[in-house]
Amino acid sequence: MCSFSFEVFPPRRDETIKNLDAILEDLGRLSPNFISVTFGAGDSINSQNTLEVASLIQEKYQIPSIVHLPCIHSSKEKITAILKECKQRGLNKILALRGDVCEGLEKSKDFSYANDLISFIKKQENFEIYAACYPEKHSEAKNIIEDIHHLKNKVNAGTDKLITQLFYDNEDFYAFKQNCALSGIKVPIYAGIMPITNKRQILKISQLCGAKIPTKFTKILEKYENNTLALEDAGIAYAIDQIVDLITSGVDGIHLYTMNKTKAAIRIYEAVKHLPKEENEAKNVL
């Protein structure tokens, strides 16, 4: 059965949680399996907002939520306090991350990599633990073999499920899955998909995370860069094409990076909502 889920980010400093209500209401109507909430690696204000948004998703919209938890600028004490608050709020799913290193902030003395955090959570509390993975390898890793070796350590430390970085060529995902299988990684891997609706945004994100832009995709960006609606249509169609292929190939889950824009998420959901029913008639998952 294929899971279908969304990522949202919490309000920024000058916004209130209320601003997210309309977004969550739209996404909630699609009955996703879960919604995950990001957490800025070096931002303590954002951390409180993350927990509040995650609680709102579960309490008001009755949808399971995942709390992203980066550790690179944190300490055992801070992480313990956050985990305690998660328990109190009934938030029992954590996406355990190292996080990106923020210049000028002191690095953690307790955690160097995500697997340190995963072992720490596993020893302390009973959480469902998710971790990040990278079909095109993490940007700091020398090669994919080294990266998969580190990923295996994360899984051995207690990861229950993996969510991938965004990618635009499904072949990269299939090759990655094969490498994971060869190295004995057996946990479910959810595919992270980000529909492109804006050229600048996608070039920036792809530069940041190292995602390759296939020629087919570059053509779309070049042809429609000055036509917002056309670019949106083509970007959504591209994401739908990727998702249809992934679900047909038996992917464990689709995780949509929404960037807090629900229009694309709704259109994608509408286009693929009946797909997994052929594999599993019992539950209307999508």
| Least Å from the CB of residue 254 to ligand FAD | 12
Amino acid, single-letter form, for residue 265: A
Are the beta carbons of 211 and 217 closer than 8 angstroms? no
Residue 99 φ/ψ, nearest 5 degrees: 90, 160
Please list, in sequence order, all residues whose beta carbon lies within 8 angstroms of the beta carbon of residue 219, skipping any fewer than 6 positions away: none
Q: Does 5 bind ligand FAD (CB under 6 A)?
A: no
Scanning 86-94, 139-147, 231-239, 242-250 for contacts with ligand FAD by CB under 6 A, the matching segment is: 139-147
Residue 102 φ/ψ, nearest 5 degrees: -95, 125
x-or-dash pattern for ligand FAD, window 182-201, by CB under 6 A? ----------x---------
Of 147-176, binders to ligand FAD (CB under 6 A) are: 147, 150, 154, 163, 165
Q: Does 140 bind ligand FAD (CB under 6 A)?
A: yes
- DSSP code of 20? G
Q: Which of 31, 80, 85, 113 binds ligand FAD (CB under 6 A)?
A: 113
- DSSP code of 260? T
- Token digits of residue 72: 């690179």
Q: Does 115 bind ligand FAD (CB under 6 A)?
A: yes
| Least Å from the CB of residue 235 to ligand FAD | 20
Q: Does 128 bind ligand FAD (CB under 6 A)?
A: no
Distance (Å, whole) CA 171 – CA 149: 20
Q: Which of 26, 100, 160, 252 binds ligand FAD (CB under 6 A)?
A: 100
Distance (Å, whole) CA 190 – CA 174: 12
| Least Å from the CB of residue 241 to ligand FAD | 21
Q: Does 202 bind ligand FAD (CB under 6 A)?
A: no
Q: Does 233 bind ligand FAD (CB under 6 A)?
A: no
**Is 15 among the catalytic positions?**
no
Please list, in sequence order, all residues whose beta carbon lies within 8 angstroms of the beta carbon of residue 31, skipping any fewer than 6 positions away: 63, 284
What are the Cα distances from residue 277, in Å, to 134, 188, 190, 280?
28, 19, 18, 5
Of 240-259, binders to ligand FAD (CB under 6 A) are: none
Q: Does 102 bind ligand FAD (CB under 6 A)?
A: no
Are the beta carbons of 60 and 73 closer than 8 angstroms? no
Q: Does 68 bind ligand FAD (CB under 6 A)?
A: yes
Q: Which residues are catalytic?
A: 7
**Residue numbers at the binding site for ligand FAD (CB under 6 A):** 38-41, 68, 70, 95, 97-100, 113-115, 132, 138, 140-141, 147, 150, 154, 163, 165, 192
